[in-house]
């Protein structure tokens, strides 16, 4: 292939492998060489699955040599966030407490990617148990933003976003609990999709907050994201929360015009605290959509101010329940010096969990305790309903919402680690959609004066990924047109 790694897309790879212009094996080896050369400065990969990847690449090459029709992701190098199970590969969830654990099975999202021809390069770094907004909470060191290595890539799927941005994978899987796909996608200048809750199976995902966790793709462009989502989406009998609703044709839907679509602009997302350069970039996106004959309308989501506290009550409560299984008995780390069972639990968890995970377990256990359940957890679930109703009321009058993903561009490593509240507020524009179960996508829409990426967030109705992605495609096309004009 003539293009470098930066120019690789799913379509170009599949076409080149089918035509014999390259092989899946050579593409995999090329990416492994790139990882060896560049990832020491980024730290996006925690482990590599070279044997499995090359065996899959060989199967794809044999199919191409026989002239067989190739599956949709044939030969595409993909990285997997290390909270998803891959048979035989380490699954650390970025934590010491799972050191040495190798699952005996694949997550459904992983098996669907491989069945579609993807070549799985390895497992990607992340905040411990997906708890964080900067990827500084990993027990295996922080990930650095490829666009500026003194800055964070976002979290918790920082490794997933950084690997794609640095051309160490063509696509990756991340997970989003309160913004953990969309925010790192915005910080690293890639596309990241949050599917509707229930659209993609969570089977094989190491749980953080079960009513919020979702698996989704990060890619270089919208069409690639639509292609990967098409492979991932659909009911799974191994996940009782996966939806029976039929899956749309996301790729074909990208070709439909956006003319006449109603674009909601939530006033609460454009208030105090939003970086002026981000505001200007989002306003430019809205102007471009108006040029495509979309209709922009102001909408109100009045309970948005309660989204952060609501999220951090519900998410930590669910985390305290989910993480109780990590006790040193069944898998992972065990303290060998303990003299009694309770002592072994305590010492194992103290050594295995990091500071942020301990903080969230304590918060969640407190809000679920006998004297505080009604005041905190029950009340938070009631406010969650109000937040969802806000979105439903807005979507009664508009097709999608357009808003910032983050209040600031990527911040410097260490800048917010000493102030958890400041770190939590990085999720201010992303957690409400997570609580409501909506779909969303972050699309690059410009850069700051310092060259840092800016992302725009497009939120869609439940199970209407098709319209959401169609608007995302229009935004990406306009960005490409503007970039072309600037280069001329």
For the chain, the structural domain boundaries read 5-307+378-487
Q: What percent of the chain has pLDDT over 70?
A: 99
Ramachandran sector of residue 179 (left: φ over 0; alpha: ψ -120 to 50; beta: rest): left
- The average pLDDT across 233-251 equals 97
Cα gap 8→226, rounded to integer Å: 16
| Inter-residue contact 154 to 133 (CB < 8 Å) | yes
Please give the sequence-ordered ranges of beta strands (E in DSSP) within 327-399, or none if there are none: none
The domain covering 5-307+378-487 belongs, at the CATH homologous superfamily level, to Amidase signature (AS) domain (3.90.1300.10)
The confidence band for 377, taking pLDDT boundaries of 50, 70 and 90, is very high
- The average pLDDT across 295-315 equals 97
- The average pLDDT across 83-91 equals 97
From residue 168, give the alpha-carbon distance in Å to each of 37, 419, 454.
10, 32, 21
Residue with tokens 């459904």: 108
The confidence band for 1, taking pLDDT boundaries of 50, 70 and 90, is very low
Nearest to 425 by CA among 278, 320, 208, 273: 273
Q: Hey, which residues are catalytic here?
A: 81, 156, 180
Q: 0.85 exceeded by the pTM?
A: yes
| Inter-residue contact 82 to 125 (CB < 8 Å) | yes
pLDDT digits (tens, 9 = 90+) for 393-417: 999 999 999 999 999 999 999 999 9
Q: Is 379 exposed, middle or buried (0-12, 13-18, 19+ CB in 10 A)?
A: middle
pLDDT digits (tens, 9 = 90+) for 93-141: 999 999 999 999 999 999 999 999 999 999 999 999 999 999 999 999 9
pLDDT at 3: 47
The confidence band for 2, taking pLDDT boundaries of 50, 70 and 90, is very low
Cα gap 330→335, rounded to integer Å: 13
pLDDT at 370: 87
pLDDT at 336: 81
């Amino acid at each position: 292939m003539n293009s470098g790694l930066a120019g690789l897309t799913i379509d170009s790879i599949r076409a080149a492998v089918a035509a014999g212009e390259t092989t899946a094996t050579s593409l995999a080896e090329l990416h492994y060489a790139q990882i060896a050369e560049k990832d020491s400065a980024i730290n996006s990969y925690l482990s590599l699955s070279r044997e499995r990847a090359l065996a899959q690449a060989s199967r794809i090459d044999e199919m191409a040599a026989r002239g067989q029709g190739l599956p949709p992701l044939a030969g595409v190098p993909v990285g997997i966030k290390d909270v998803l199970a891959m048979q035989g590969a380490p699954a650390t969830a970025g934590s010491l407490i799972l050191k040495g654990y190798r699952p005996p099975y694949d997550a459904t999202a992983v098996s669907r990617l491989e069945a579609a021809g993807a070549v799985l390069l390895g497992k990607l770094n992340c905040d411990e148990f997906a708890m964080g907004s900067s990827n500084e909470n990993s027990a295996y060191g922080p990930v650095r933003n490829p666009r500026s290595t003194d800055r964070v890539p976002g979290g918790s799927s920082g490794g997933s976003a950084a690997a794609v941005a640095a051309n160490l994978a063509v696509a990756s899987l991340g997970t989003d609990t309160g913004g953990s796909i969309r925010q790192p996608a915005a910080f690293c200048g890639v596309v990241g999709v949050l599917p509707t809750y229930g659209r993609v199976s969570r089977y094989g995902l190491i749980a953080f907050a079960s009513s919020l966790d979702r698996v989704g793709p990060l890619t270089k462009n919208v069409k690639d994201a639509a292609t990967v989502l098409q492979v991932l989406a659909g009911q799974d009998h191994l996940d009782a929360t996966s939806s029976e609703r039929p899956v749309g044709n996301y790729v074909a839907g990208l070709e439909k015009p956006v003319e006449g679509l109603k674009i909601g602009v939530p006033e609460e997302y454009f208030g105090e605290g939003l970086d002026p350069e981000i505001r200007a970039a989002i306003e430019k996106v809205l102007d471009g959509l108006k040029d495509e004959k979309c209709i922009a309308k102001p909408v109100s989501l009045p309970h948005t101010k309660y989204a952060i506290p609501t999220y951090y009550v519900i998410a930590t409560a669910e985390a305290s329940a989910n993480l109780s299984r990590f006790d040193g008995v069944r898998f992972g780390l065990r303290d060998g010096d303990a003299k009694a069972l309770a002592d072994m639990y305590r010492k194992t968890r103290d050594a295995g969990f990091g500071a942020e995970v301990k903080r969230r377990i304590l918060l969640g256990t407190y809000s679920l305790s006998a004297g505080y359940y009604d005041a905190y957890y029950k009340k938070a679930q009631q406010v969650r309903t109000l937040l969802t109703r806000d979105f439903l009321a807005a979507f009664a009058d508009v097709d999608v919402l357009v808003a910032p993903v983050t209040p600031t561009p990527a911040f410097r490593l260490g800048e917010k680690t000493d102030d958890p509240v400041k770190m939590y507020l990085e999720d201010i524009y992303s957690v409400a959609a997570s609580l409501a179960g909506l779909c969303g996508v972050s699309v690059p829409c410009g850069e700051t004066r310092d060259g840092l990426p800016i992302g725009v967030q497009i939120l869609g109705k439940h199970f209407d990924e098709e319209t959401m992605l169609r608007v995302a495609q229009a935004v990406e096309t306009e960005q490409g047109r503007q970039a072309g004009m600037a280069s001329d």
